[in-house]
Homo-oligomer: A and B are copies of this chain.
Amino acid sequence: MQRLLAHISKFVELTEEDKETILSIMQYQQVKKKEYLLRQDAVCNANYFILKGCFRRYYIDEKGTEQTIQFAIDNWWITDYDSLERRAPSEYFIQAVENAEIAVLDKRVQEDLFSQVPAMERYFRLVLQRAYAASVQRIRYIYDFSGEERYNHFSNLFPEFLQRIPQYMLASYLGFTPEFLSKIRAKKI
C-alpha cells in the first residue's frame, strides 16, 4: 500500500494522520489472472488503484467481439466513472490480465475519505485532469496515425508490455483487428 501513498504524495501533501486515514479506509486485495472487478450490467461499486499487475476494461460489441477500451498498469486507477457516479448498470467488464494487487476505494466510503482528507479531492481532480488529457491525446493518435504507426508507437513506448498481453486485446485497444496486427508483425520479420 506504500505505492499508493507514494503516488498520492506526488500530487498533494499528506500528513501522517492523512496517511493512516487513507490506509484505514481503503482495502488491500489480491486478484488472480482473469478475475473480474466488474461485469456488464452490474453497478460499479468502487475505484481501483493498481499496486502491481495489469487490468483491462472491455465491452462486447454488436458482433459479440470483446473490445478493450482501456489498459491500466501499476499506479493507475481503473473504474467505470459513469456507472460509479450515476449508480447505473455498466456496459463494461474490468478484468485482471495477470495476477495483481490492488487498493480498493469503495463508493460507500469515498465521501468519508474526502471529508476526512480534503487533499484527496484535489488529488482526484489532478488525476482526472491527466486521464482526460491522455484520452484526448489518444483520439488524436487515432486520427493522425495509421494502424501500423500506432502499433509501432505503442511497442516503442511499452516494449515489455507486448509480451504480457494477448495480441487480440492489443489489437482492439489500438482500433483494428487481430488479423491486421498479425500482418503488421509479419512485415517486420
Contact = CB atoms under 8 A, between A and B. Distances in A.
A126 B172 CA distance: 29
A131 interface: yes
A31 B138 CA distance: 30
B129 A129 contact: no
Contacts of A142: 139, 142, 175
Report how many copies the assembly holds. Answer: 2
10 contacts: A69-B136, A81-B132, A125-B128, A128-B129, A128-B132, A131-B132, A135-B135, A135-B136, A139-B139, A142-B175
A23 B46 CA distance: 35
Q: Which of A114, A118, A125 has the most CB of B within 10 A?
A: A125
A180 to B, nearest CB: 13
Contacts of A69: 136, 139-140, 143
Contacts of A136: 69-70, 135
The 10 closest A-B CB pairs, nearest first, are A128-B128, A135-B135, A125-B125, A132-B132, A82-B133, A81-B133, A81-B129, A121-B121, A131-B132, A143-B175
